[in-house]
Amino acid sequence: MAEPATGHRAGPHWWPDDTADLLIVGYGPVGQVLANLMARRGRRVVAVERHARPYTMPRAVAFDGEAARILATAGVEDHLASFGEPSGDYMWRNGEGRDLLYIDAAEVHGRNGWPESTSMYQPGLEEALITYGKQLPNLTVLRGYEAVGLTQTGDGAELEVRDGDGVRRRLRGRWVVGCDGANSFVRRTIGSDFDDLGFHHDWLICDLVLHDRRAFVPNNLQICDPVRPRTQVSAGPGHRRWEFMLLPGERREEMDTRETAWRLLGEWCGITPDDGIMERHAVYTFQAATARQWRDGRLLIAGDAAHLMPPFAGQGMSSGFRDVMNLAWKLDLVLDGRSDASLLDSYAEERRAHVQHATGMSVNLGKVICQTDAKAAADRDAVMIAARERKLARPQQSPFQPLTKGLVWRDEKGRRRRGAGDQVPQARVAHRTGTGLFDETVGRGFVFVSLDEPQQVLDTARLAFLESLGAHVVRLLPAGTDPSALPAGSVVDVEGTLGAYLDSVGARGVLVRPDTYVFGAASAAAPAGALVDALRAGLAPALASV
């Protein structure tokens, strides 16, 4: 008899004869974040994972500032330092040791209020997400069940799962999201293929737990050496990763051995078994691809099920977190009947554009490091060194992109209005009893933040509509205002961050979506009332006249 599959809880918290609001197939980091986001909203969530226990080895090693902001929303803000640390600097050098490119990631107070890049130990991240999920009474996780059948019904879907003994059972959900990786069962059920960009390379990954906490300078290093492209990066506190590209003619089965891993570490990096314990070695194929279809009726996909990208921009897992942050609030509104299902069409429309940008960045960086032709590498080096020495290098492209499609405020010609689609910066604000980051201080969800008294720019009906969305309506007062004397519903812009942003888009206020992207900005030419009316129509076009 196989070991029984387990859930976060049993008995009355599992609904064998009822329908869950959301079924999640795959319970890795992206599925864990989605489960927490939806369960925190009070939704009944069932997550199905084919592995009986969490995977205990590292895979991803970094996430960006927006991903950190999302993780805070998913309930683990107090634990980020336990498994992560600021990534620090990132240097690219050629085989002769000459510097080609330098990236200095900000450690504090990035756009999202978190370090621009955090190096992390993935098992620690997953433990924190899972532990928080266990506190949510409406989240059930079924481990040791493989999804083997999926059919849509008129008002949801039925998922057939099979345990280790071959016993099958059916689960019902109003919506199903596949967070089940590159070989996604849900994506295959949808019938969606990948658009493959044709960028494939095999790399040997070596994860070590070091015996000491020595400093590496630079902390993260790419060696663009045509003889053997290689990487060394932080993998979270006490952990470090080395990577070696497989060369033409090298076979996976010969390279993916402990002996080969130690040989390459010693030959190229001077690292021996005296320096640490090898936690894991594996050969991975890095590739770049995006699913053609992200939704079919009640079925959706996110994370690696929807896109794959090389690791060189550190955007794979972060992009998956963006996916589910975008999706969660839209699903919540549809489940409540406050929006119709057409709102979910904007999910893939918005996320695909960002993923294509991040994938393009990753591929372009990968083409620099994965060059094994000596002459082409020499030409590359000459161009990059000359640009660096003459300070002609372009500013590094950011993974951040504003929303250009989907649910943002547009003018009569369909063009984005100024500020619409931006990600609102997370400022430090003060209120009567303390100071903190905006999200934690004001609250998450829809936010209308205004330099003016909101009741003076919005009438009772529009304020009631925002209240029906659970929106936070906030007046922003300038730095230097005494927080102890603040009226209710006001905060002080301690460092002037939000005020500077409003000034940059010529606005007196902004209406922010729950994923922290700006729906639209209010100004003299575009009053706040029209802004709220546009949101009402955009959220539920089929319901707007009801």
| pLDDT tens-digit map of 66-108 | 999 999 999 999 999 999 999 999 999 999 999 998 887 665 5
Task: Tell me if 395 is assigned to some domain.
Answer: no
Q: Which of 323, 322, 252 is nearest to 282 (CA)?
A: 252
* Same-domain status, 434 and 518: yes
Confidence tier at 110 by pLDDT (50, 70, 90): confident
Distance from the Cα of residue 169 to its chain's centroid: 32
* Same-domain status, 345 and 441: no
pLDDT of residue 73: 98
Phi, psi (5° rounding) for residue 97?
A: 85, 10
Average pLDDT over the chain, rounded to whole?
A: 92
What are 399's two structure tokens?
């993974």
The per-residue b/e assignment along 106-115, b for 16 or more CB within 10 angstroms, e otherwise, is ebebbbbbbb
* Same-domain status, 436 and 296: no
* Same-domain status, 181 and 302: yes
Q: Which of 367, 393, 389 is nearest to 98 (CA)?
A: 389
**Residues 218-234 pLDDT 10s:** 999 999 999 999 999 99
* Same-domain status, 142 and 68: yes
Region 6-26: mean pLDDT is 67
In whole angstroms, give the CA distance from residue 295 to residue 303.
13
Task: Tell me if 294 is assigned to some domain.
Answer: yes
Contact indicator for 427, 493 with CB cutoff of 8 Å: yes
* Same-domain status, 186 and 71: yes
Residue 388 confidence (pLDDT) above 90: no
**Tally of domains within the chain:** 2
pLDDT of residue 109: 64
Q: How many residues make up the chain in this entry? A: 546
* Same-domain status, 434 and 359: no
- Containing 441, the helix (H) or strand (E) segment is helix 438-442
Q: Three-class SS of residue 370?
A: coil
End-to-end CA distance of the chain: give it in Å, rounded. 56
Strand partners, 173: 20, 157
Distance from the Cα of residue 260 to its chain's centroid: 34
Which CATH number is 162's domain given? Answer: 3.50.50.60
In whole angstroms, give the CA distance from residue 116 to residue 319.
14
> Range of 183's domain?
11-82+119-193+290-364
CA angle, residues 326, 331, 333, in degrees to nearest 5: 105
In whole angstroms, give the CA distance from residue 409 to residue 245.
46
* Same-domain status, 432 and 516: yes
Region 396-401: mean pLDDT is 69
Task: Tell me if 64 is assigned to some domain.
Answer: yes
**Residues 340-369 pLDDT 10s:** 999 999 999 999 999 999 999 999 999 999
* Same-domain status, 528 and 439: yes
Confidence tier at 15 by pLDDT (50, 70, 90): very low
Choice among 120-129, 195-204, 396-405, 531-540 with the minimum mean pLDDT = 396-405
Contact indicator for 231, 222 with CB cutoff of 8 Å: yes
* Same-domain status, 358 and 439: no
| Helices 345-369 and 316-336, axial angle in degrees (round to 10) | 180
Region 121-133: mean pLDDT is 98
Tell me the whole-structure pTM to 2 decimals: 0.95
In whole angstroms, give the CA distance from residue 519 to residue 413.
17
Task: Tell me if 385 is assigned to some domain.
Answer: no
